[in-house]
Amino acid sequence: MAPSVQRVAAEVQTVEPRRSWSFWVMLVLFAGLAIVWFVVRDDPRGASQEVAYSTLLERVRQGEVTRAELRNDEILADTKQGEILRVKRLPALDERLLVEALDTHRVTFVGRPSSDGLWPGLVMIALPMAISLLFLVWIFRRMRRGPEGLAVGKAEPRVIDQSRQSPVTFADVAGVDEAKAELIEVVDFLKNPARYQALGARIPKGVLLVGPPGTGKTLLARAVAGEAHVPFFSISGSGFVELFVGVGAARMRSLFQQAMARAPCIVFIDELDAVGKRRGPSALAGNDEREQTLDQLLAEMDGFEPNTGVVLMAATNRPDVLDPALLRAGRFDRQVLVDRPDQAGRVAILGVHARRVKLAPEVDLARVARRVPGLVGAELANLVNEAALAAVRRNAAAVGVADFEEAMDRVQLGLAKRGRVMTEGEKRRVACHESGHALVALSVRHADPLHRVSIIPRQIGALGVTLQLPTHDRYLLTESELADRLTVLLAGRAAEALTFADVSTGAEDDLAKATEIARLMVTRYGMSAELGLVALGHQAGSRFLDDFTTVRDYSEMTGREIDEAVRALVDAALARARAVLEPRRETLAALTQALIERENLTREEIDAVVASPQLNPERAAPPAP
Ligand code: ADP
Ligand code: MG
Ligand code: ZN
């Protein structure tokens, strides 16, 4: 293992660019420019010294000046002492004084117009021409050397030498256990290929990691190389995309040649979708360069024998746009899903990144993870870092619970905009709206537990926010859970309507979310009695990037029925929220007041308000002895 690593290191050094002749051309050009500069400056005596206009006049009057040269913008004067004085001419000033003085002291003086000599004019014309000519020559020379010569700004595959930098191992990647399990086999193959060859087992030629951005695909690939202790050729798909036809393909060929010479090793193409996009139906529609690169990749994949010891890995978050030919058996025949981590996964990832920071003992990473469903590894890493930064800001000895709260708010809600001033009236309204959400969330059976309410304005839209803390990741929701969710969403509007004479725009986001849920209930989940158990419309797009478009595949009449059913669901939820809040107006008012005063209420504080004796006289009665 060690010798092969050495060889890699040596090879990498020879890739260093040799000083090509273009270097010398540049050198000559610079020298030329420097010479031209001196000619244009045309200061024959070089050692002139700049003085004030008045000084010059004074020296002339004292009879020390022997000769003067009047130029366009300056005057040079020789003195008896052998100095050369230089003064700037004063713009638009009558110089009779100086001329008279010169005349009185019998100083020779000559004038010199600006376009002295042919030189500057000639240079101005000839230089750009010469430069463009040289550039053209350079391009032609490179063209003759074949497409590789044209690789402007070459993206050489990066060979990562596993012995020098501290290698990434599987221990650094958390929360993606299924993907890891799949890759362990690859590592094992790279470590002892003989075992596989003896039994005639064929390791997959290509392993494609698919998953949303930031889930750790690149990290996993590097961990495979780190575990197997083999050279790791890494190049991004966009590194193949070039202006000139044929460059990408040539680069692909050279990548595989280098890899083959160094087997066993891993070739990793990140962001495969940049080269692997589905080829267009006709030559006209397609992108020639990209298609050639893709063809070359396919050819290379077919070219190497399965047991040469080269394992091709690639990562993408757009598997839907990949050319089907890439996914055929014998090419990327193993696909590994690197999905968003679940609760346990998030805890593990937080753990990996928290190793590097000093945590206060009371920090419960499981609780942190629970508040951020849907975050991926990269975001969790960022979260830990934000918390550490928050701890630094408050000069703490360790990263505490409050720091994580701040970091989560930052990541989920954007920065607090403390500078934005709300009027008393606005504040009252927002507080009432959020109290409505909070109170209903406390009352309906299936709502996620209430965590915190705040009316501190945030960057991302909301003026206030009611945070609920899901107890676990939800993969399946029942109809009554969805209905409760709708009710909580509409509770803000319901509270406003109960308290004020008219309603505000504050419920916009709630209504959008509620409508979306209701629409899904009707069209996808079969939860509307009117429309029955049919799936209406289907979704196209990448499931990893949340950029679906819904394709309508039903009649206009059905469309109208859907709209009606959606409206019915939302209306019912609003009525329910109202029914919850109506008998509890006083609690709502008390919560609103507390929120106005404190702007931020934790679960405990909310509970204290809601359960206070004034609001619940029967509960306040002292227990019978
Ligand atoms: P992808 O390639 O899937 O977009 P990366 O591998 O580039 O994601 O992840 C970016 C960074 O996020 C990593 O360097 C690492 O710090 C962190 N990260 C992402 N996923 C994980 C994970 N599963 N475990 C630990 N750290 C992770
Ligand atoms: Mg990546
Ligand atoms: Zn709301």
Q: Is the pLDDT of residue 354 over 90?
A: yes
From 337, 355, 375, give the residue that closes a domain.
Answer: 337
Whether residue 109 is found in the same domain as residue 245: no
Residue 434: active-site member: yes
Whether residue 542 is found in the same domain as residue 449: yes
pLDDT-derived band at 575, boundaries 50, 70, 90: very high
Question: What's the domain range around 519?
Answer: 424-620
Q: What is the pLDDT of residue 592?
A: 95
357 CA distance to ligand 1 centroid (A)?
A: 17
Q: What is the pLDDT of residue 460?
A: 56
57-61, 65-69, 612-616: the lowest-pLDDT one: 612-616
Which whole-number Å values give the CA distances from 356 to 8, 177, 399, in the listed order? Answer: 31, 22, 11
Whether residue 21 is found in the same domain as residue 72: no
Q: Is the pLDDT of residue 106 over 60?
A: yes
C-beta neighbour count of 34 within 10 angstroms: 9
**Are 2 and 163 within 8 A, CB to CB?**
yes
Which residue has tokens 């003992």?
A: 361
Q: What is the pLDDT of residue 340?
A: 86
586 CA distance to ligand 1 centroid (A)?
A: 49
Cβ-based burial of 554 (10 A; exposed 0-12, middle 13-18, buried ≥19): middle
169-183, 405-419, 492-506: the lowest-pLDDT one: 405-419
Whether residue 200 is found in the same domain as residue 62: no
Could you give the CA distance from residue 580 to residue 584 in angstroms, rounded to a whole number? 7
Tally of structural domains, the chain: 5
Span 588-610, pLDDT tens digits? 999 999 999 988 898 999 999 98
Whether residue 29 is found in the same domain as residue 59: no
Q: Answer yes or no: is 436 within a domain.
A: yes
Span 124-149, pLDDT tens digits? 788 888 888 888 888 777 666 554 44
Whether residue 300 is found in the same domain as residue 432: no
Q: Answer yes or no: is 625 within a domain.
A: no
Query: Higher-confidence residue: 244 or 174?
Result: 174
Whether residue 469 is found in the same domain as residue 593: yes
Q: What is the pLDDT of residue 113?
A: 65
Q: Is the pLDDT of residue 492 over 90?
A: yes
pLDDT-derived band at 39, boundaries 50, 70, 90: low
Pocket of ligand 1 (CB under 6 A): 173-176, 213-219, 315, 349, 352, 377-378, 381
CATH code of 556's domain: 1.20.58.760
Could you give the CA distance from residue 442 to residue 469 in angstroms, rounded to a whole number? 12
State the catalytic residue, choosing from 182, 386, 406, 434: 434
Output Rg (C-alpha) for the chain, integer angstroms.
38
Least distant ligand from the CA of 211 = 1
Whether residue 486 is found in the same domain as residue 562: yes
Mean pLDDT value across the chain: 81
Q: What is the pLDDT of residue 158?
A: 62
Q: Which long-range contacts (CB under 8 A, 24 or more apart) does 445-452 make?
A: 445/480, 445/484, 446/478, 446/480, 446/481, 446/484, 446/485, 447/484, 447/485, 447/487, 447/488, 449/603, 450/603, 450/606, 451/371, 451/603, 452/600, 452/601, 452/602, 452/603
> What SS3 class is residue 347?
helix
Whether residue 233 is found in the same domain as residue 102: no
Could you give the CA distance from residue 595 to residue 113 in angstroms, rounded to a whole number? 81
Span 305-334, pLDDT tens digits? 766 778 889 999 888 888 888 888 878 888
State pTM to two decimals: 0.64
Could you give the CA distance from residue 182 to residue 168 in angstroms, rounded to a whole number? 17
Cβ-based burial of 215 (10 A; exposed 0-12, middle 13-18, buried ≥19): buried
465 CA distance to ligand 3 centroid (A)?
A: 7
CA 211 to ligand 1: nearest atom: 3
C-alpha torsion angle, residues 162, 166, 172, 177 (rounded to 10)? 20
C-beta neighbour count of 120 within 10 angstroms: 16
Q: Answer yes or no: is 285 within a domain.
A: no
Query: Higher-confidence residue: 167 or 222?
Result: 222
Q: What is the pLDDT of residue 27?
A: 81
Percent of the chain with pLDDT over 70: 80
pLDDT-derived band at 86, boundaries 50, 70, 90: confident
Could you give the CA distance from residue 7 to residue 352 in angstroms, rounded to a whole number? 33
H/E element, 67: strand 65-70
Whether residue 328 is found in the same domain as residue 360: no
C-beta neighbour count of 568 within 10 angstroms: 15
- Mean pLDDT for 53-62 is 85
Q: Answer yes or no: is 418 within a domain.
A: no
